Amino acid sequence: MVLRFPFIIIICIACSFCVLAQESNQTLWYKKPAEKWTDALPIGNGRLGAMVFGGVENDRIQFNEETLWTGKPRNYNKNGAYKYLPEIRKLLFEGKQKEAEALAQKEFMGLESETGHRASWVKEMQAGKGIQGNPALADFDDKLWKTLNVPSYDGWETVGLPNLDGAVWFRTTFDVPKSWTGKYLVLDLNKVFDQDFTYVNGELVGNTDGAEPRKYTISAKLIKPGKNVIAIQVLNYYDRGGIGGYKDVKKKIGIYPVGSNVDQGISLVKPWKYKIQNSTPPAVAQYQASYQPFGDLNLQFLNHAGTSNYRRSLDLSTATVKTTYSLKGINFTRTYFASQPNQAVVIHLTASKTGSITFNAALSSLHQSSILKTLGNSTISLVVQVKNGVLRGESRLAAIVKNGSIKIINNKISISKADEVTLFLTAGTNFINADDVSGNPALANTKALSSLKGKSYAEIRKNHLQEYQSYYNKFKVDFGHSVNENLPTDERLNKFDFSNDAAFAALYMQYGRYLLISSSRLGTQPANLQGIWNDLLTPPWGSKYTTNINLEMNYWPTEILNLSALNEPLFSKIKGLAKSGTETAKQYYNANGWVLHHNTDLWNGTAPINASNHGIWVTGGAWLSQHLWEHYQFSKDQSFLKNEAYPLMKQAALFFEDFLVKDPITGWLISTPSNSPENGGLVAGPTMDHQMIRSLFRNCIEAAAILNVDESFRKSLEEKEKNVAPNQIGKHGQLQEWLEDKDDTTNKHRHVSHLWGVFPGNDITWDQDSKMMNAAKQSLLYRGDDATGWSLAWKINFWARFKDGDHAMKLIKLLLKPAGTGAGSYVNLFDAHPPFQIDGNFGGAAGIAEMIVQSHQGYIDILPALPSTIPDGKISGLRARGGFELDLSWNKGVLTSLNVKSNVGGICKIHYKNLVISIQTKAGESYKLNGDLKLQ
């Protein structure tokens, strides 16, 4: 026994370490509550999303429902825009890009939503409607006004006016020294959002509407020694409002004599008095709609100061957030998850001592039109109406307590001295589909709460786990262990760049899968620019669907990381876009088939938006069609190909059959007008377009052959595909981004669109054309490594395809660095563009998988880009084209085992280094190989 005891201790310690390490590679955790939204931990069931802050005394749970958007069903297309297409093409062929862009901006963009009567509203605000007296006057009494910090660099929404558009008065004073007597002064405010009427001592000194800097010269006659008054009426129509000052916060706003500067003058960076005059400005025209937050659930705990042992965590394997802490000898636990089976966010509160749970629960919303109601003895509701839109929503909060008491006071649930509490948060809107908003918002709530009746918390959690893990457990990854595994996630993130922590990359892969499962379930909308999580009424880029890479990147992990079923929302969206895109194809190009430009929203807008120098990009439908084809490639599901994929792909190809025109110089078929996404303006013949169109034609040809249909269509596409402008190598040895050899090698633009053929496409591969592959690599070297978050993720995939794992890992290090003013990852590992965009999470996770296995060249390539920093590892559930599922392990950079499961049968070709094997497989059978690809 004496000899065995130390051995048992060692075994136990080793096992404990393994368990802890395994948990840390599936858990994000922190020693303190979230301070900012991007510190909070996300949960979601595809339709409902929530961000858990985990505060001790005030726990905020900000939540979303996926169909709460601005806007309404409407016509996005400018009828007859195609009449201007020949002239736009002619101008581009003549090299008159600016003239082409000007004509396109005037005649070829989509229709904006209805606008309100701004001029009459401004008149009313100027006349003082909604406010007593005249705040512009120097002697106006503002004693009862509140104060606000000025400038509000990121908008007044961030410093105390979170849901406000409208008219607000600001007032402050400044003391003029005698030495300034008789001098003209400069009032420097820089940015004001959106319009200002600025008064000094009651006299109007300036009025500007727009983004121009405000520097107003004030006559010496207006200024007196001693106290002077500045009053500014700020009119904000949309998005952030207020006196914004300088982006560089070190530069002060202020007032100073002409000829000097603010450092010799008086700073106006301080609290100002303010008064809201009006909060209902006229509607601002929008090309497309924006995703909206729904509300907040706040749990308020009294007498909770002095806690210890705090921990906040997200367990990816169970899709569960936990907050734990100790107070006065009592251990408290809060558990949060978003149940898909019961369509509710569930919050379970327990304590180690009976009768210890006392708190108030309140609902609130940023939406100006929101109402709280009491429904029965243990349920409250929040009803919201989206401003200037047709969508409305209702959420409900129901509580179940074990012992203790429950009351509703002032529309808040008040719970006292309970042993255990379970909260159910539900939500719904009147959205049915992009053409129908006749739904009842209450229905989703009643249905969800009814499904929860009679079920214990244990049963609800069990059902949640079973449904969630049916996706999550299909894939496992282990990149070994590191000394950083036991650190909180924020500390681990800080150390990743200079540490050997391959396991953190494994965690990041699983986190990407977790986020996709949480924001894209069967029957939901697809994951948007922020997945399903958004806390702003005017989120960045509307938090919509940007289709010139971002929507597509969201779904890169689905096939390779064994989440194929989660494509369903995307495929459903493609069907809706094909319908609306058919009308856009007619109105803009007089063409058959369907087209999608660079953005869409809940309402399936497909027309060009924003500006003609980047909004006229025609290959969104081609890119989305690639996802349909890839799903067939991975699954070999001929029923899907026949009934869903091919009909949509064919219609996309029909558009390009009509759209392509002959280049007058080369004779090639080219795409025009279009652009290389967001770079270089409106052009004829961007390389990316041609890669995607060529790929679409080839995929349609192959699909039609498999299905034995459309022989004449196949022949037509074969002829056209030969004549589409080819990839070209330019004078710098680079893959040309455009038809002409005009690439700027110093350009570090975030989009690397002409490399689409490398990834996610296969228009350029090592086997087909190594020279072109090297040219693409040269282009990426010129573009550089630093980029926005999603661009870093794309570059990881490029370097994987270039078979340079160490360079790919360099990009992973950049993606997983703390986000400050630049790209990286926030505390909760959300991707930072900045700001937050979820596509980087998804693209990064897919990119790491691409380093391990590739299958786009007609065979499975094992460890094609394994970095030296991941010498050991094992993965199970990785998928490859051809209907194969792989388990593999490696040690010291060398393959040690490979198991291939064939889902549909057929020949499986495998490459590993210089080894090549071909296996005739049977459906449902597995094949074990060693590191030399020998069957076991």
Every domain of the chain and the residues it spans: 31-71+288-470, 118-278, 871-936
Confidence of residue 158 (pLDDT cuts 50, 70, 90): confident
Task: Give the pLDDT of residue 23.
Answer: 54
> Does residue 786 surpass a pLDDT of 50?
yes
Q: Where are the alpha helices (DSSP H) in 25-167?
A: 85-93, 97-107, 118-126
pLDDT, one tens digit per residue, over 239-249 is: 899 999 998 98
Backbone angles phi, psi at 255, to 5 degrees: -135, 140
Structure tokens at 480: 């070994």
Using 50, 70 and 90 to split pLDDT, how confident is the model at 774? very high
Q: Are 522 and 565 in contact (CB under 8 A)?
A: yes
Q: How far apart are CA 444 and CA 838, in angstroms?
A: 27
For residue 883, give both structure tokens: 């209907």
Burial of 509 (0-12, 13-18, 19+ CB in 10 A): buried
pLDDT digits (tens, 9 = 90+) for 656-705: 999 999 999 999 999 999 999 999 999 999 999 999 999 999 999 999 99
Spatial contact of 399 and 415, defined as CB atoms under 8 Å apart: yes
Does pLDDT of 12 surpass 60? no
Predicted confidence at residue 157, as pLDDT, reads 87
Q: What is the 3-state secondary structure (H, E, C) of 47-66?
A: CEEEEECCCCCEEEEEEEEC
Q: Check residue 466 and report its DSSP letter.
A: H
The reported pLDDT for the residue numbered 162 is 83
* Cα 691 to Cα 622, 623, 738, 754, 758, distances in angstroms: 10, 10, 12, 8, 10
Copy the structure tokens of residue 167.
Answer: 């008219």
Contacts of 876 (CB under 8 A, 6+ apart): 475, 476, 886, 887
The pLDDT assigned to 19 comes to 42
> What is the band of 156 on the pLDDT scale with cuts at 50, 70, 90?
very high
Extract the tokens encoding 381: 């509701």
CA atoms within 13 A on the CB side of 36: 10
- Give the pLDDT band (50/70/90) at residue 9: very low
pLDDT at residue 24 in the model: 54
Dump the DSSP string for 644-660: IIHHHHHHHHHHHHHH-
**Residues 71-90: b if buried by 16+ CB within 10 A, e if exposed:** bbeeebbbeebbebbeebbe
Measured distance CA(722)–CA(338) in Å, rounded: 51
Q: Among 153-157, 274-278, 411-415, whose mean pLDDT is lowest?
A: 153-157
Q: What CA–CA distance (Å, rounded) separates 245 from 238?
A: 18
pLDDT of residue 15: 42
**95/651 Cα distance (integer angstroms):** 32
CA 887 to chain centre: 31
pLDDT band at 811 (very low <50, low <70, confident <90, very high): very high
Question: Cα separation of 272 and 291, whole Å?
Answer: 32
Nearest alpha-carbon partner for 434 in 759, 75, 165? 75
Q: What type of residue is 8?
A: I
DSSP bridge partners of 904: none
Residue-wise pLDDT tens digits, 589-627: 999 999 999 999 999 999 999 999 999 999 999 999 999
Residues 813-838: tens digit of each pLDDT: 999 999 988 999 999 999 999 999 99
CATH 1.20.1440.230 is right for the domain spanning 118-278:
no
Helices 502-519 and 457-472 pack at an angle, to 10 degrees, of 110
The phi, psi pair for 186, rounded to 5°, reads -110, 125
Question: What is the distance between the alpha carbons of residues 230 and 790, in angstroms, rounded to a whole number?
Answer: 44
Instruction: Return the sign of the alpha-carbon dihedral for residues 299, 302, 305, 306.
Output: negative
Q: Which residue has the tokens 């169970």?
A: 318
Average pLDDT over residues 187-201: 97
Closest CA to 294 of 472, 6, 534: 534
Which CATH architecture is the domain 31-71+288-470 placed in?
Distorted Sandwich (2.70)
**Contact in structure between 306 and 327 (CB atoms under 8 Å):** yes
Torsion (CA) 754, 759, 762, 764 in degrees, nearest 10: 50
In 10 A of CB 765, how many CB atoms?
Answer: 18
Structure tokens at 345: 């966010």
- In whole angstroms, give the CA distance from residue 193 to residue 212: 10
875's enclosing H/E stretch is: strand 873-880
Question: Position of tokens 């129901």?
Answer: 398
878-909 burial by CB neighbour count: b if 16+ within 10 A, else e? bbbbbbbbbbbbbeeeebeebebbbbeeeebe
At 913, list the tokens: 């280094």
The HSE-up count of residue 134 (CA atoms within 13 Å, CB side) is 12
The per-residue pLDDT for range 545-584, each reduced to its tens digit, is: 999 999 999 999 999 999 999 999 999 999 999 999 999 9
Burial 115-133 (b: 16+ CB within 10 A, else e): eeebeebbeebeeeeeeee
Question: Tokens at residue 560, please?
Answer: 């390779």
Tell which residue, 531, 491, 569, 519, has the closest CA to residue 831: 531
Average predicted confidence (pLDDT) for the chain = 95
